[in-house]
Amino acid sequence: MNDALSPSRPHPIDTRLLQMMRGNQRLRGIFNGLPSPAIVEMCAYAGFDFLIIDNEHGSADLQMTEHLLRAARASGIPALVRCLEHDLARVLDMGASGVQIPMVESAAHARELVQRVRYPLPDGQGGRRGSAFSTRAAGYGAFGGPAHTRLSNEAIVLVAMVETPRAVECSGEIAAVDGIDAVFVGPNDLAHAMGHENRWTDPPVQAAIERALRAVSAQGKCAGVLALTPEEEERYAAWGGRYFASVTTALITRAFQQAARQGRAELNY
C-alpha cells in the first residue's frame, strides 16, 4: 500500500513550511531568481529556513523550476515559489511547498487565491484547484488520490504580497482570510507606488511598512518583509515581522565586490 508519509519514500511536497509559518520563531528565507540547482543547494547548506524561487523576476522557465524544487527537496530546504497567477496551477503540480503571489490588494483577491490553491472536497468545501495525480506533486501517481488531496489542502502555504498603498490599507483584512498563511510586504514596489522610487527607507514608506506588519501580526498571521541588514530585521521584528528575506544575487554581488576591492588593494600594495 502506498504511504505518502513513508520515510523510505518521502512525499515530494515538503510539509514543514506551514508549521514554520504558524510558529513564533523568526524565519529567514532567501529569494533566488537564478536558474541554478547548485544555488538552491548552497542556500540549503548555508542554513536558511526556506527558499523562495523567484519566478516573478527570475529567469527560470517551468522545466527549470521543477528542477529547482527537486534540488530543494534533495538538500532539505522547503521551497515556496513566487509566481504570477497564470502559472499557479502548474507550479503547485510541480510540488512546491507553497506559493507567494504578488500584488494582492484586497480580501476578495485573497479569497480567490485560496480557492485556486485548494482542491474541492466531497463535502462541498475546499476550492477549485484542478485535480491530476500524474504530476510530481503526487509522485507521478504513487501518492495520488484522497491522501494527496488532503495533504495538499492542509499543508501547502499561501503567502499574499502587499505592495501598494491600497494593499497596505487592506493588509489586516487580507491576513484575516482563512487560507492565507502569511502576508509579505514588498518594500521596493511599495516605495515606487508611493512615489519614492526605490527609497524604501524614506519615512513615509517605513510608516506604511510598519502599518502593514502590525496589521498582519494582529490577525495572528506571519508577517514578512525584505530585510537586507540586521538593523532592518530588528526594526521590522519590533513591528511584528517574523518572516525576513534576503536575495541571492544581492549577497553574491556584495561578496564579489568585496573580493574585487580586496584584489585591487593587494595589487596596489
Across residues 170-187, what is the average pLDDT? 98
Of 155, 54, 161, 152, the closest CA to residue 109 belongs to 161
The pLDDT of residue 264? 72
The answer to whether 129 and 89 are in contact (CB under 8 A) is yes
Indicate whether 50 pLDDT > 70.
Answer: yes
Could you give the dihedral angle defined by the CA atoms of residues 248, 253, 254 and 257, in that order, rounded to the nearest 10 degrees?
Answer: 160
Q: What is the pLDDT of residues 201-222, one digit of tens each?
A: 999 999 999 999 999 999 999 9
pLDDT top residue among 134 and 6: 134
Q: How many CA atoms lie within 13 A of 214 on its CB side?
A: 10
The pLDDT of residue 8? 64
The pLDDT of residue 43? 98
Task: Tell me the pLDDT band of 11, cut-offs 50, 70 and 90.
Answer: confident
Across residues 69-73, what is the average pLDDT? 98
Across residues 34-49, what is the average pLDDT? 98
All three cell numbers of 265, joined, read 588593494
Q: What is the DSSP letter of 126?
A: B
The pLDDT of residue 4? 45
Task: Tell me the pLDDT band of 268, cut-offs 50, 70 and 90.
Answer: low
DSSP three-state, residue 86: helix
The pLDDT of residue 267? 64
Strands (E) located in the chain: 27-32, 50-54, 79-82, 98-101, 157-162, 182-185, 222-226, 241-247
Across residues 126-132, what is the average pLDDT? 95
Contacts of 90 (CB under 8 A, 6+ apart): 62
CA dihedral sign of residues 125, 16, 12, 247: positive
Residue numbers annotated as active site: 57
Domains of the chain with CATH codes: 16-268 (3.20.20.60)
Indicate whether 1 pLDDT > 60.
Answer: no
Of 171, 241, 238, 250, the closest CA to residue 24 belongs to 241
What phi and psi, each to the nearest 5 degrees, are found at residue 161? -105, 130
DSSP three-state, residue 79: strand
The pLDDT of residue 9? 74
Task: Tell me the pLDDT band of 10, cut-offs 50, 70 and 90.
Answer: confident
Indicate whether 63 pLDDT > 80.
Answer: yes
CB neighbours of residue 89 within 10 Å:
16
Q: What angle do CA 127, 128, 130 make, to 5 degrees?
A: 130
Q: What Å distances lie between residue 99 and 55, 79, 175, 209, 234, CA to CA?
A: 10, 9, 15, 22, 26
The pLDDT of residue 2? 43
